[in-house]
Amino acid sequence: MDTRTLGQSLEVSALGLGCMGLSYGYGPATDKTAAIHLLRAAYEQGVTFFDSAEAYGPFANEELLGEALVPFRDRVVIATKFGFTNGDVNQSMDSSPARIRAVAEASLKRLRTDVIDLFYQHRVDPNVPIEDVAGTVKDLIAEGKVKYFGLSEAGAATIRKAHAVQPVTALQSEYSLWWREPEAEILPTLEELGIGFVPFSPLGKGFLTGKIDADTQFDKSDFRNVVPRFQEENRRANRALVELLTSIAGKKDATPAQIALAWLLAQRPWIVPIPGTTKEHRLMENLGAARIELTMEDIGEIDTAFARIPVQGDRYPAALQNRVGR
């Protein structure tokens, strides 16, 4: 697989693997043996960028990656995150310097490594100046415990303040054909500052694959149950997007998921999507997107067509939306 560079020097595979769903968020955790097999299969297919967080579980996802990736640890980039009290997204945010240091030490042990390649602040903590956060990670980098600093779902002003203290290598935020808000202010800011972009949910939390419709029943522990965009009436309305994507994919002998990912890769050379999956055949399908070439005409056709179909439903319930874009 081709590689891309985040920030000034962090080289990763053009597509990474979002690992959250193996342990958390989309229903019951994947069987450990199957999850390890999937992670190693991704590496064998050229994936060198794996995304985790202490909050995924909590803690279970980092432990899983630590075990799965240890045979080739020196050939992969592992990203993880800090930012919640006790690593629990249902508790308050906590990016105090002491908490950041505690997370770093614990994550190093769970990941079975002596350095965290990319250490993200999971969400901006309004109670801790971003300069203090960046300064703490800068110290961890100087101590050799972290290599690169990242932010997740941060606003442009916060990115600039953090970058002035410690260069930000990557911003991780939602971006896809059905969530394009980053194009207004975030992408120009990142381009100006030389910061890479790592889109999570590049397949619209699964919706752009075409495998979800109004009749889909989610597991009771699946967080999409509380996402307005996934309410039954909105799923029914948003099927028009999938039908359009399916039509475009048919012309390219591709799947809707592959076109959605290829579209993201075509936006900027420093964008590295991290689609997640629990199934090996979906992994292979997603990775096939890296081989699809979209022309400027293709991109124009996709953009024009999608502009005619408004997406129904907010991407987050209000409580979660209040945590992003700060």
Between CA 100 and CA 197 the distance in angstroms is 22
Residue whose entry in the numeric block shows the structure tokens 């999570």: 200
Between CA 195 and CA 199 the distance in angstroms is 13
Between CA 53 and CA 42 the distance in angstroms is 18
Catalytic, 56? Answer yes
Between CA 72 and CA 154 the distance in angstroms is 32
Between CA 149 and CA 119 the distance in angstroms is 5
| Catalytic hit among 26, 43, 56, 175 | 56
Residue closest to 15 by CA, chosen among 324, 277, 307, 310: 277
Contact (Cβ atoms closer than 8 angstroms) between residue 198 and residue 51: yes
Biggest CA–CA distance in the chain, Å, is 54
**CB burial string 148-162: b at 16+ within 10 A, e below:** bbbbbbbbbebbebb
Active-site amino acid positions: 56
